[in-house]
Structure 1
Amino acid sequence: MTLIGFLVLLLIAAICGSIGQALAGYDLGGCLVSIVVGFIGAYLGMWIAGKFDLPKIFEITVEGKTFPVVWAVIGSAVFTAIVALFRRIFVGRDRI
């Protein structure tokens, strides 16, 4: 994989991660955190889709690597909601 292909995958993951955070209504951090949330969301979304035997809806292929866009957005929204819930439980409602 070339550097340009890797950067394109990072950009797609950042966009999916930030859309997922916006859907969850909670912001975990900046651009690098959105990239990580996007990749975690892709894995979590594909795991959810596999467990419920759901089809792959929209995937982008970059240099032979596929990235499940819809499942990444759904997975990052679920991941962000779970992190926000645990943060509220352990840190408290007053401190963010």
Structure 2
Amino acid sequence: MTLFGFLILLIIAAVCGAIGQSLAGYDLGGCLVSIVVGFIGAYIGLWIAAKFALPKIWEISIEGRPFPIVWAIIGSALFTLVMALLRRAFVGRNDY
């Protein structure tokens, strides 16, 4: 994979992670965290799609490597929700 392809993949993962976080209503962090959430969301989304035999929806190819846009967003939202619930359970609410 070339540097340009890798940068495009990082940008797409960041956008998918940011959309997933906004759908969940919780922000885990900045741009780098959005990239990580986007990649984790892609893995979670593909795992869910495989378990329930769901089709790959809107998958783009970057230098021959597929990246599932819709499943990355859905997986990112689910991952963000789980992280928010875990944070609330361990840290608690900050009601001032």
Q: TM-score, normalised by structure 1?
A: 0.97
Equivalences for residues 35-74 of structure 1 within 5 A? 35-74=35-74
* Corresponding residue number in structure 1 for 2:76: 76
Find the aligned partners of 1:62 and 1:87 in 2 and give their Cα distance: 35
In the alignment, does 2:1 pair up with 1:16? Answer: no
Q: Tell me the matched-pair count.
A: 95
5+ residue gaps, structure 2, are none
- Shift of residue 94 of structure 1? 1.4
Please report the RMSD computed on the Cα atoms of aligned residues, expressed in angstroms.
Answer: 0.8
1:85 is matched with which residue?
Answer: 85
2:29 partner SS: coil
Percent of aligned pairs sharing the same letter: 74
Query: Offset of 1:28 from its aligned partner?
Result: 0.2
Q: Provide, for residues 3-58 of structure 1, a one-character-per-residue CA deviation record: whole Å limited to 9, x for no partner.
A: 00000000000000000000000000000000000000000000000011100011
Kindly indicate whether residue 5 of structure 2 is the aligned counterpart of residue 5 of structure 1. yes
Q: With the length of structure 2 as denominator, give the TM-score of the two structures.
A: 0.97
Structure 1 unmatched runs, 5+: none
- Secondary structure of the residue aligned to 2:81 is helix
Off by >4 Å, runs of 4+ in structure 1:
none
1-side partners of 2:91 and 2:29: how far apart? 17
